[in-house]
Every structure is written in structure tokens, then in C-alpha cells.
Structure 1
């Protein structure tokens, strides 16, 4: 493959919760882990099972065509997919890193190096999507916590609050189980050079720190919602107990009334 023009544009699209790779045509496949296909002479598309497509050196029209071609293989397709982009410059004498301008510097545009970039950008894109989602949930949970701090009685739709807990657990399952944010990809296991490149770029994109911050927010959301549910249940339990007390008192009054009448 001839050297691509510089800078090389790369965009990651988080288009759904999962992509079924078994249904895809692999006629132009050049590598696996992720599934990497050559597009034209210089472009690549790299497809991840956890719902991300990373494309190098393609126009917006070409990217749209590829994404549309995946629609039958995408599970839970998002109406507004998350997108993260970067530019890559190739310099054989440069230190491989993310520079101050936000460009990724590589020594060459080999498939292995581009796959490393794809892994980092794909994980960052997923984190961005869930960071935005959790931010919206966090605002609602924060209002619940403020209500409790003011000593106000808990109220609200239990089903909605349980839904927040379910969403938090679902995000944890997807980020930990499918995306494996903190895990290194297989392509770097036996290649020290790619391993160092991955570590450097992953650190500069703050993947681990962002994953920890997201996990803490999810944990706080779950604990706050669970506490709120417990208080709602306790309040409902007290109400039931008062109903029982009232019924007992009524029964006693009726019994006494019958005795007095006789």
C-alpha cells in the first residue's frame, strides 16, 4: 500500500450496542481484531463488535455509505450516534504520541499502528457516549439527593427510579464486559512497540481515569436510587401499618357498639 496523504483523518462512530460481524462480507479484509477492511487505495474501515466503526482516510459520503451498509448487522442502532475524530500525521523521525494540537503522530501508517489508534479512539468514543448519558441521569439523581438533604418526604415513580438503576447496571455491563476499557487489545500482546504506542495514546486519552470516574458515578447513581427506593418502600409500609391499625380500631368500635346495643 502506498503512503497515504497527510494528515490522515480518522473518525470513530458508536452506532449501536453491538455489531454482528458474522453477517458481514469480508472480501476486502486485511486483518482481524478489529475486523479491518481496505476501502479504495488508502482508506480503512475497522469494525468492533461492541458497536463502533473506525474509518481512516475516507470522505463523509464514504463513511455514510459504510455505516448504512451495516444497518442490518447493528443491534439497538442509535438515532444519534456518537462521533469522535482525530488527525494523524506520519513522520518517521517523530515521537509517537498525541501532540498539543490534538494530532496523533505515527512513524508510519502500517495496519498495526492504525489498529492501535482505532482501539483507543473506539473506547474513547464509547466513554464519551456513556459520559453524556450518565451526566443526564446524574442530574436527576442529584435532585433526589437534594430532596432527601432537605428532609422532604420521598415521592416519585418507583418504576422510573428502578429504570435508572437498570440503566446504570446496563452501562457497567457494556463498558466492562464488551468494551473492556482498561484491557489491552490482543494485537499488542506480542509486540512491544505496539504495546508502548497503545499505552502512550491510551494514557493521553485518559481512558483509565475516565473509566474510573464513570464507574464512580454509576455506583453513586445506583446507591442513591436504591436508598430512595428503600425510603419509598418504608413510607408505603408505614401507610399499610396505619391502615391495619385503623381497621382494628374500627372492628373494636363496632364490637363494642354491638355489645352496648344488646
Structure 2
């Protein structure tokens, strides 16, 4: 490949051999990519959509807003992302990016070494799709984990305020707005990303499933997804509690308004009776 470079082999590989490597960039560019209307480039594979990018690179695109670029140099990346903007909904600016290097070893199996290095026997579209599937899910989990952590950072001081004063002041409404965004995130993750589902390419090439499972374990997708689900469930219950507290406070305020109106009416009635008794 164009930007391949020779590097020293890791300790898991035979010492007499060298490996070639190319760069991989994973970018969360928005909430959604309209992949159906993507006309640029040459389509190499579908489900997920895989196209040519740059002179010799490849791009795998996911409708949940992630692009994985293989062997695309920085200038080509800028051009590619610019041409993609019209198809992106709710863009993330700047895109959230992560990068790594993948090593090529034609005489070896596809694998993840103990050091974390990723080895491919060939940069075929199917292998790139399997790797991109994992990297795309990892990028989305990273994004959601950060958003959930921000909400938890807000919940702690709010709970302390409730404990000390029994009131949450103006923080409640702001937190509810943030919680609403996180719950929308949960809906998008369940409806679009399908973190725990295997890619369709494994149905056609079951020989790649072992490689996929090793990647899934390396990035701890299942464990992180379960933890995120538990946190989202706790946030949902927190939002219900906040809403109940806010509604109870409003109800008490309305009851006080009614009491005050009744007292005013009584006072006015007494004044009227006094005035009538003294013509």
C-alpha cells in the first residue's frame, strides 16, 4: 500500500521477519451519515459501506455517524470529510478521532497479539470491515461514556444539596435537560449502533469470527456496553425522582396559593360584614 512502512516485528512474531503497517483513523463525525445517498468514490463492499478514499486508501462508513479511514493521508482525509458533510446529520465539530496502526503479515493468521498489535494477513475489504465494525462501536461507546460521566458529575453535587437543604434550586432543570440528552443517546445507541450485534460479513466469511471475537474482547465492548446500560438505567431513575420532586414542589406551591386566596376571601368577607353592621 502507498504509505506502508517497514517496522520491527513485535516479540509475538518470529524475530527474523518484518511487518508492514498502515495508519487507521476512526472519526465520529455526527449523529448520522446518510450512507444510502453516498455517491462519491468506488464502492468496494456494502453492510457496512466500504469505498475508496484518496489515492489508495479505503473508508468504511456507518450510518450512526462514524467513518473509519484506512491508509488515507491527512490532506486526503480533509478532502474526504469535506465532501461527506452534506450527508452528515448533527455534525460533531471537530470530529472525535482515534488512531492506530495495523500490521500486515501475509503468511500469518488475522489476530490481536498480547501487546495489542493488530495483525492482518491481507487488507481485504472483508477484513477491514470486521476491524472497522469494532473501531466504530468503540468510538461510539467512548462518546457515550463521556456524556454519561458528565451527567454523573452533575448528579453528585445535586444529591449533596438535596441532603443538606432539601432543595435543588435551579440545578434541577439544567440537569433534567442534560439527562434528556443522555436518554436520547440511549435510544440512538440501541436503535442504530447495535453494539452487541455481529457484522453481516461474518455470515459470508465465518472464518473471520475468531478474529472478530478477539477484537471484541480487546476493546471490552460487551463489558462496557453492560456498564453503560446500568448507568443509563440509573440516570433514567434519577430523572423520574427529580420530576416527582419538582411536581411535588409545584403542588405544594399551588396549595399555598389556594390557602392565601381563601384567607383573602375570608378577610374581605369580614370587612364587608363589619362595614354593613356600621352604616
Residue 34 (1) aligns with residue 48 (2): yes
Cα-to-partner distance string for 1:81-134 (whole Å, 9 max, x where unaligned): 111212111224545433344321222222211110000001101111121222
| Alpha-carbon distance in 1 for matches of 2:124, 2:157 | 50
Partner of 2:258: 244
Partner of 2:92: 78
Question: What are the equivalent positions in structure 2 for 1:203-218 lying under 5 Å apart?
Answer: 203-218=217-232
- Counterpart contact for 2:116–2:218, Cα < 8 Å: no
Residue 57 (1) aligns with residue 68 (2): no
Partner of 1:235: 249
What is the DSSP-based 3-state SS (H/G/I as helix, E as strand, rest coil) of the residue aligned with 2:28?
Answer: strand
| Alpha-carbon distance in 2 for matches of 1:55, 1:36 | 10
Greater radius of gyration (CA): 2
How has the CA–CA distance of structure 1 residues 34 and 251 changed in structure 2, closer, same or farther, with 3 Å as cutoff?
same
Question: What are the equivalent positions in structure 2 for 1:43-192 lying under 5 Å apart?
Answer: 43-94=57-108, 96-156=110-170, 159-192=173-206
**Gap runs ≥5 in structure 2:** 6-19
How has the CA–CA distance of structure 1 residues 205 and 259 changed in structure 2, closer, same or farther, with 3 Å as cutoff?
same
Q: Given the two structures, how large is their TM-score scaled by the length of structure 1?
A: 0.91
Moved more, 228-237 or 172-181: 228-237
Moved more, 140-149 or 68-77: 140-149
Match among 186, 209, 216 for residue 195 of structure 1 = 209
Q: Given the two structures, how large is their TM-score scaled by the length of structure 2?
A: 0.85
| Alpha-carbon distance in 2 for matches of 1:78, 1:26 | 21
Report the alpha carbon displacement of residue 162 of structure 1 after superposing the two structures with TM.
3.2
| Alpha-carbon distance in 2 for matches of 1:231, 1:154 | 9
| Alpha-carbon distance in 1 for matches of 2:189, 2:97 | 17
- Counterpart contact for 1:168–1:222, Cα < 8 Å: no
| Alpha-carbon distance in 2 for matches of 1:160, 1:2 | 50
Aligned residue-pair number = 262
What is the DSSP-based 3-state SS (H/G/I as helix, E as strand, rest coil) of the residue aligned with 1:189?
Answer: helix
- Counterpart contact for 1:14–1:83, Cα < 8 Å: yes
- Counterpart contact for 2:3–2:71, Cα < 8 Å: no
Report the alpha carbon displacement of residue 40 of structure 1 after superposing the two structures with TM.
5.4
**Gap runs ≥5 in structure 1:** none
- Counterpart contact for 1:7–1:87, Cα < 8 Å: yes
**Root-mean-square deviation (Å):** 2.2
Residue 12 (1) aligns with residue 26 (2): yes
Q: Higher relative contact order at CA 8 Å, sep ≥6: structure 1 or structure 2?
A: 1
Report the alpha carbon displacement of residue 41 of structure 1 after superposing the two structures with TM.
6.1
